[in-house]
């Protein structure tokens, strides 16, 4: 008995021991512990298996490793702190302990690799929905797959896949939500570029509940995508977008483009109307919103 | 001295020891030993680093493993025998010891994953060129990436990639050449579907030389592709094709299509003219050549 109590205490539960009365649970930690995540989770596949750690270099790396050993679809890899996380284009993405929610989902979508971008867009839609309904914060989507609030980054998404030329082997979608960071938790150079749900809503977010809602939302959208295709995902993505129908500057590897972000196509490419009236199709790049 | 001689003997070199005269090399083994491969190899990148083993489950798996540890572009993984090799769609591909040439190349092409199919087509073109010039055997390309001689399979190619949604991380191209197999070396069910260069040309193929020629040919075409794009690769692919401009049956995951193989597009998809006159675009599938 005592050993179990010790284990629970190590995991952050606060338990009082009273002579003759026994033990009393007086505090549940704000931890993303598997038992907490499973409690009340309504999904069938996403997050039914959980790989939890207090600290990891990158939840995507763990998920890829688990995939290579045969882990099943829906595996959730979650960590309280991510020390070597990456964003797109090899950028760093650090998540301080107990403040962010950073997790990866393992999927085996039976499709051509060219459809992978649809799934990052689907992830953006599910995260934005979950955030809006759980916290009331109006997260919007910036092409291709960041979530912003008032122009500041609140979530990042990074999908990585292993594939043959004509079919995906496995796909890992890593998602990082800035949940309970305070100003000082962001590196100085990001303080005016990033924000957190706590900063935006004025109160701490129950991380377990938001993670559950994200998993539920993802599973719902993934089902829609599998059964009906990409159309309704794309329609919702467009509604939630904050980088369409506005002037933007896009930085690609070798140049910058100024233009009007007109729409995205079914491969997730951005169609940019250039000043000369022509339409430029961009499959990747970094958007800055421009002031006109 | 004697220890070195023993090592060489273990690797298959035949060395006579004569009293007072010393040692004499009287036989060089037909092995794909790194020193043999490097001797006279004219590439700058492909095969400059070599991972050799007498036996491995799959050279692609070894190359992916090496990639995850930071191996450089051009790494050649070669094995004398492959026990768990796979073809496309998870099929087995067994290579008996010292008979086939099976190898994988590690690449870091800085492109979108949708262009990976161009590289398997490039691999088919380079292998067919190398085989034609080294052995005189007229290997032809069957869509998407097998090489055939007289309708029988002589090479298989399997590309696997790791990627973010908009850029390839690494790409491994595995190639298996049926070089010196005799009839009895093929499993019974493949004896009328597979052939070897030895069977076709009537003489044993110097495996080291053919591997060198394949590396040189691959490097040349890879340079063309990087500098000029896919066009001239595609033009040569079409010239070498044996499954265009002919009636075919294509088996896809969920159905079969009969039609006339009209051409391939710049993504490597096959454009099939159906009996009703419409054009069907197929990104993957298994071709049977039909008799009309």
pLDDT tens-digit series, residues B148-160: 999 899 999 999 9
**pLDDT tens track for A240-258:** 999 898 899 998 877 899 9
- Cβ atoms of B183 and B191 within 8 Å: the answer is yes
**Domains along chain B?**
1-29 (no CATH), 34-240 (3.30.930.10), 246-289 (2.30.30.100)
Confidence band (pLDDT; 50, 70, 90) for B199? very high
Kindly report the average pLDDT of chain B as a whole number. 90
- Cβ atoms of B175 and B104 within 8 Å: the answer is yes
> Hey, is B270 helix, strand or coil?
strand
Whether A7 has a pLDDT exceeding 70, the answer reads yes
Whether A292 has a pLDDT exceeding 60, the answer reads no
- Cβ atoms of A155 and A171 within 8 Å: the answer is no
Q: Give the other-Cβ count within 10 Å of B270's Cβ.
A: 24
Whether A290 has a pLDDT exceeding 80, the answer reads no
**pLDDT tens track for A146-156:** 999 998 999 99
User: Token digits for A59?
Assistant: 């939840």
Q: What is the pLDDT of residue B288?
A: 81
Share of chain B above pLDDT 70, in %: 95
User: Scanning every residue of chain A, which has its alpha carbon at the shortest distance from the alpha carbon of B87?
Assistant: A164
HSE-CB for B127 with a 13 A CA cutoff: 34
What residues of chain A, 136 to 175, have a C-beta less than 8 Å from chain B? 144, 158-167, 169
Shortest CA gap A272–chain B (Å): 17
Q: What is the pLDDT of residue A284?
A: 82
CB-based contact B114 A113, cutoff 8 Å: yes
Strand partners, A250: A257, A287
- Cβ atoms of B195 and B21 within 8 Å: the answer is no
User: Token digits for B52?
Assistant: 């050799």
Residue B60: closest CA among B187, B171, B137: B171
Element (H, E) at A125: helix A116-135
Q: What is the pLDDT of residue B91?
A: 65
CB-based contact A161 B165, cutoff 8 Å: yes
- Enumerate the residues of chain B whose CB falls inside 8 A of the CB of residue A163: 113, 116, 160-163
Element (H, E) at B250: strand B246-251
User: Token digits for A271?
Assistant: 């169609």
Confidence band (pLDDT; 50, 70, 90) for B6? confident
CB-based contact B163 A161, cutoff 8 Å: yes
* CA B137 vs CA A121, A261, B148, B202, B234: distances in Å: 49, 54, 10, 10, 21
Euclidean distance between CA atoms B254 and B26, whole angstroms = 57
Q: B64 in the Ramachandran plot: left (φ > 0), alpha (ψ -120 to 50) or beta?
A: alpha
**pLDDT tens track for B230-254:** 999 999 999 999 989 889 999 887 7
User: Token digits for A104?
Assistant: 């990866």
Residue A239: partners with Cβ closer than 8 Å, 6 or more residues away:
none
Rg of the Cα atoms in chain A: 20
Q: What is the pLDDT of residue B93?
A: 66
- Quote the ipTM score: 0.72
Rg of the Cα atoms in chain B: 20
Element (H, E) at A280: strand A279-282
Shortest CA gap B159–chain A (Å): 6
HSE-CB for A174 with a 13 A CA cutoff: 27
Q: Give the other-Cβ count within 10 Å of A254's Cβ.
A: 5
Euclidean distance between CA atoms B138 and A21, whole angstroms = 88
Euclidean distance between CA atoms A267 and A185, whole angstroms = 36
Q: Does A241 touch chain B (CB under 8 A)?
A: no
Shortest CA gap A172–chain B (Å): 10
């Amino acid at each position: 008995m005592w050993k179990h109590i010790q284990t629970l205490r190590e995991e952050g539960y606060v338990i009082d021991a009273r002579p003759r009365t026994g033990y009393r649970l007086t505090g549940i930690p704000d931890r993303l512990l598997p038992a907490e995540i499973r409690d009340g989770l309504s999904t069938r596949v996403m997050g039914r298996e959980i790989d939890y750690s207090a600290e990891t270099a990158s939840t995507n790396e763990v998920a890829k490793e688990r995939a290579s050993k045969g882990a099943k679809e829906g595996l959730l890899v979650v960590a309280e702190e991510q020390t070597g996380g990456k964003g797109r284009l090899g950028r760093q993405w650090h998540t301080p302990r107990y403040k962010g929610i950073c997790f990866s989902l393992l999927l085996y979508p039976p499709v051509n690799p060219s459809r992978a971008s649809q799934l990052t867009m689907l992830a953006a839609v599910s995260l934005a929905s979950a955030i809006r309904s759980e916290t009331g914060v109006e997260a919007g989507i910036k092409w291709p797959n960041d979530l912003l609030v008032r122009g500041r980054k609140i979530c990042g998404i990074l999908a990585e896949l292993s594939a043959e030329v004509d079919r995906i082997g496995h796909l890992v979608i890593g998602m990082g939500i800035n949940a309970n960071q305070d100003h000082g938790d962001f590196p100085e150079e990001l303080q005016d570029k990033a924000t957190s749900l706590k900063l935006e809503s004025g109160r701490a977010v129950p991380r377990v509940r938001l993670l559950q809602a994200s998993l539920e939302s993802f599973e719902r959208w993934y089902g829609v995508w599998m059964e009906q295709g990409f159309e309704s995902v794309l329609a919702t993505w467009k509604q939630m977008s904050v980088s369409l129908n506005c002037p933007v500057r896009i930085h690609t590897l070798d140049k910058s483009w100024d233009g009007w972000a007109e729409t995205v196509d079914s491969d997730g490419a951005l169609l940019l109307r250039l000043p000369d009236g022509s339409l430029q199709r961009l499959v990747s790049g970094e958007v800055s919103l421009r002031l006109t």
